[in-house]
Amino acid sequence: MRLVSTTMIVALSTCRLFAFNTPRQIARRSSSKLLPPRLVDVANSVIRVAETTASFSPPTIVDIGCDHCLLVGHLSFPSNPLLSTPLVAIDSSPSALSGGRDLMDKIKIISEGKNSPVELMCGDGLSPLFHNEISSSNIVLSISGMGVSTMKKILTEGALQRLSAIHNIVLQPTNTKPRNMQLIYDHLTSLKFRPRDERFFYDDRRFYITTTFQKTDNDEPAVLGSFLYDTERTRQIYEKYTKFHEEWSRKIKEKI
């Protein structure tokens, strides 16, 4: 329910952004106005990993479950440092993609066609990439706004082996209880993807955790919090998160 209302608020604020401003006024604003605050962490993680790996191979960014393409829309703005990086947005819902196509058309007008190339694909998880070859050997994948079990279904061993160009994965699941987070950490570490960055964000009484996983040779388990992004703000939110869940599990145990 909360997710539905958050999506509606984002959609409404996007409509407002485009309804009451001329393209030139919008272009002058930061494209981060497109994003709900929690997605700013995803965007920044994707930008950081794409920038740091660009010397190894030019990156292509793929967002799975893109919905109305707010993330790739933000990344495609000429004001973003990733300009000209190819962007791919995938969703299983044709109507979500149709909203995304409208947004991308508007961004193209606003940025006078100087935005990054964006390709929209309809399909389940990574499957559209099996049929549409991506020339980059450095795919940065992002998945946000889904539960960990859906993420695990998308990030299967077979799919990741087949798409060996995926070297980095940025995840922001909707269910951030420690045991859920551990499920996705265990799954990805068993497939030799290890956390290399974690960001914690607290908004509207919800925690959002954005983790970047990097392909390695190492399949040792990793726990949440061991690669905390080292800022005072993040550390404070992490402490709040652990305290909240300690109290929550104590209350559950008391009830048993």
Ligand X SMILES: C[S@@+](CC[C@H](N)C(=O)[O-])C[C@H]1O[C@@H](n2cnc3c(N)ncnc32)[C@H](O)[C@@H]1O
Min dist. Cβ of residue 65 to ligand X (A): 3
* CB 93 to ligand X: min, Å: 4
DSSP SS3 for 60: strand
- Look at residues 151, 197, 199, 198 and name the one whose alpha carbon lies nearest to residue 174: 151
Sites for ligand X among residues 152-191 (CB under 6 A): 154
Q: Using the rule CB under 6 A, is 93 a contact of ligand X?
A: yes
Q: Report the residue number, 88 or 146, with the smaller CB distance to ligand X.
A: 146
CA 151 distance to own-chain centroid:
12
Q: Which of 59, 73, 145, 173 contacts ligand X by CB under 6 A? A: 145
Query: What token pair was written down for 249?
Result: 């599990």
Say if CB 94 and CB 114 are below 8 A apart: no
Locate 82 and state its tokens.
């990733």
Closest CA to 103 of 7, 11, 220, 210: 11
For position 91 contacting ligand X by CB under 6 A, the verdict is: yes
Cβ-proximal residue to ligand X, closest one: 145
Among 88-96, 187-195, 221-229, 230-238, the segment contacting ligand X (CB under 6 A): 88-96
Among 146, 169, 188, 209, binds ligand X (CB under 6 A): 146
Contacts of 219 (CB under 8 A, 6+ apart): 189, 190, 191, 192
Residue whose structure tokens are 């549409």: 132
- Piece in contact with ligand X (CB under 6 A), picked from 86-94, 108-116, 178-186, 189-197: 86-94
Q: CA 54, CA 193: separation in Å to the nearest integer?
A: 19
Confirm or reject binding of residue 195 to ligand X (CB under 6 A): no
Nearer to ligand X by C-beta: 9 or 223?
A: 9
Contact residue for ligand X among 125, 173, 178, 195 (CB under 6 A): 125
**Size, binding site for ligand X by CB under 6 A:** 19
Strand-pairing partners, residue 203, are 206
Q: Measured between alpha carbons, how far is residue 190 from residues 96, 187, 215, 222 in Å?
A: 32, 5, 11, 10
Of 20-28, 72-80, 139-147, 176-184, the segment contacting ligand X by CB under 6 A is 139-147
Site for ligand X in 51-80 (CB under 6 A): 64-67
Asked whether the CA dihedral 2, 170, 86, 136 is positive or negative, the reply is negative
Q: Min. distance of Cβ 62 from ligand X in angstroms? A: 11
Binding residues (CB under 6 A) for ligand X: these are: 3, 7, 39, 64-67, 90-93, 96, 124-125, 144-146, 150, 154
